[in-house]
Structure 1
Amino acid sequence: MTEYVSTTPGLFPLPDWAKDDLSDLKGHQKHDLISGDEGEEISSAYKQAREEVIATQQDAGLDRVVEGQLRWDDMLAHPLAVHDNVDTQGIVRYYDNNNFYRDPVVQGELDFSGDVARELEAASELTDDLQAVLPGPYSLADLATDEQYGDEAEFLGAIADFLAGEVDAFPDVETLFLLEPSLVENAPEDGTDERASEAIDQVASATDADVVVQPYWGALEEKVYAHLLDADIDAVGFDFVSNQDDNIYNIQEYGAPKDISLGLADGQNTLVEDPEAIRDRVDWVEGQLQVTEFETVYLTTNTETFYLPYAKYEEKLEVLAEAADLAEVTVA
């Protein structure tokens, strides 16, 4: 019988109070932030905000709880932006969105950092249903600038090595979401698509958790999708908000792993869906795949919810949790 699991791809908006407090604190501690030392007051504010977003997920009834990635000012580039051998330089547009991050310029060996593992260790004290979130290796390499390795394939391999080492240091987690929007936004060419799959496989192999590769802002090109299925992963995510037809075609034509992640709630639109509408979308997807039965179906927003007002983000969580409950009742 299919299990329906409500979750998110992380990268939450800050609580309103934290936006104000952290803005003031960071304004007074710019030098410390550049040197990598957040300071006690900033760390305390993030700790309180983390506790709040975890409690919000638990109150909403989500089946998987993420740390929130509230410190990720540079979005998916964060794991590199805080690395000692990376220089964060000019402001870059985050794909086609009106959000920006500092260009992480890799200037030395990408050895172990442990930054994300420390976040997860703190979160693991607050929940037993922890889900880790990381940029996938292809997207992280795509968002970065290489001044160390000098070769695209070698750089992707170094990013995969780095992420695998970070994952190996994680506490026990139920699930790992690898976010790979660059597979859609800047699709790899012949040869690179195979290397991207191998890099994803390497990162996924560093954990015993269920691994979900979540592309978004469209559908994968056929060859990219076919190569992705060669990676030893548990689920592929599909952004059904942005593109229904091509995502359905990929599954029908090439199949899918035993689990699937459905991006059915809009992570960027303030319009809050009805749980029944999300459940109906689940039914529609499953109806298009009549011969396919999945062991686990993750119900999630199609993108991170960073872009939403905090109150709307909270409502989206409640909708996802209720939709998963409705889907379970329908199956039963």
Structure 2
Amino acid sequence: MSKLVATTPGLFPLPDWAKDRLSDLKGHQKGDLISGDEGDDIVAAYGEARAEVIEDQLDAGLDRVGEGQLRWDDNLAHPLTVHDNVETGGIVRYYDNNNFYRDPQVVGDLTFSGDVAAELEAAHDVVDDEAPLQAVLPGPYSLADLATDEHYGGEAEFLDAVGDFLAGEVEAFPEHETLFLNEPSLVTNAPGDDTDELASEVVDRVAAATDADVVVNTYWGALDEKTYAHLMDADVDAIGFDFVAGDRQQTLYNINEYGTKADIALGLVDGQNTLVEEPETVRERVDWVQEQIASQDFETVYVTSNTELFYLPVNKAQQKLAVLAEAASLNEVKA
């Protein structure tokens, strides 16, 4: 029987009170760059908001609790936009939706930052052993895809450098049970022939920097066959699949044709739609996927939303947390 683990890909919506307070403190509108060198009042506001979203996850009963990534105004590009050797360009549409971020333009070496590690240290203190901590990062391929290289001089060289940068960041993380590497660009802008193997290698490199269980979380559709085959070469514990958006049959074909890891993450709750699913419906979807992959029993099934939750109003995100937790606790996955 599989163990069901309720979790999310992170990036929670910022509470309304925090938006208002931070807008006043920073003197700019929502969506502007977080500089990484906030004053004490801003740090305190984010700390209060972080504690709130952690409490939301604990109250819902999630099996893994994340930091929330509330400072990530630039979405998955955040680890670069706060780096000293990165300049921010103009506003860019974030994948294919109405969210935006400021284009990180890498103009120097991607040296160690420690920004995300500091966030996780703060979260670790709040969680205080009440639940296992989950770290969240952009995957190296997606982070490179969201950025502009003005320093390394080539696509492969830049991707290689981003992989080294993220591996160094992960090495500084406090103790964590799982690491979600969010890799939507593997779906939306698949690697070409000159980088497809390297894309898998740098994922492997980042995963090797932690002793935690690593989930490479893909979403906004299905991976193409070649990309999936290369991703399977990465030494990770689980690959995440989007069963809300895109071609489910392509996803199932990839899994049944090439196999998958011993664990699996299933994006079964819509992270962009305010309609709140019933826990029984989500649990039925878990069973349905398992039935379609009859050749493999999974040790762990991560039950998640298919995308980050920051697209949702806070109350809807909270409700979806409860749905994920209840769906995972209903009963065992069928063998």
**Equivalent residue number for residue 98 of structure 1:** 98
The answer to whether the 8 A contact 2:50-2:70 is kept is yes
Unmatched segments (≥5 aa) in structure 1: none
What are the equivalent positions in structure 2 for 1:63-142 lying under 5 Å apart?
63-127=63-127, 128=129, 129-142=132-145
What are the equivalent positions in structure 2 for 1:232-251 lying under 5 Å apart?
232-243=235-246, 244-251=248-255
- Aligned mates of 1:34, 1:212 — CA distance in 2: 27
**Equivalent residue number for residue 234 of structure 2:** 231
What are the equivalent positions in structure 2 for 1:85-234 lying under 5 Å apart?
85-127=85-127, 128=129, 129-234=132-237
- Aligned mates of 2:29, 2:97 — CA distance in 1: 28
Deviations 1:123-146 (A, max 9, x none): 011223100000000000000000
Q: Select which of 318, 323, 326 maps to 1:319.
A: 323
- TM-score normalised by L of structure 1: 0.97
- TM-score normalised by L of structure 2: 0.96
Deviation of 1:58 after TM superposition, in Å, equals 0.2
Moved more, 125-134 or 251-260: 125-134
- Say which SS state the counterpart of residue 92 (structure 1) adopts: strand
**Equivalent residue number for residue 269 of structure 1:** 273
Deviation of 1:25 after TM superposition, in Å, equals 1.4
Deviation of 1:26 after TM superposition, in Å, equals 1.6
RMSD: 1.6
- Aligned mates of 1:28, 1:245 — CA distance in 2: 45
Unmatched segments (≥5 aa) in structure 2: none
**Equivalent residue number for residue 47 of structure 2:** 47
- Aligned mates of 2:331, 2:229 — CA distance in 1: 29
Task: Give the letter aligned to residue 98 of structure 1.
Answer: N
Moved more, 13-22 or 72-81: 13-22
Q: 4+ residue runs of structure 1 moved beyond 2 angstroms?
A: 33-37
Q: Select which of 253, 258, 264 maps to 1:254.
A: 258
Please state if 1:284 is matched with 2:288. yes
Task: Give the letter aligned to residue 137 of structure 1.
Answer: P
Please state if 1:301 is matched with 2:308. no
- Say which SS state the counterpart of residue 90 (structure 1) adopts: strand
The answer to whether the 8 A contact 2:60-2:321 is kept is yes
The answer to whether the 8 A contact 2:23-2:29 is kept is no
- Identical aligned residues as a percent: 72
- Aligned mates of 1:132, 1:36 — CA distance in 2: 19
Task: Give the letter aligned to residue 38 of structure 1.
Answer: E
Deviation of 1:190 after TM superposition, in Å, equals 1.5
- Say which SS state the counterpart of residue 84 (structure 1) adopts: coil
The answer to whether the 8 A contact 2:290-2:334 is kept is no
Deviation of 1:37 after TM superposition, in Å, equals 2.2
- Aligned mates of 1:149, 1:81 — CA distance in 2: 17
- Say which SS state the counterpart of residue 80 (structure 2) adopts: helix
Aligned residues: 330
Deviations 1:11-31 (A, max 9, x none): 00011211111122121699x
**Equivalent residue number for residue 61 of structure 2:** 61
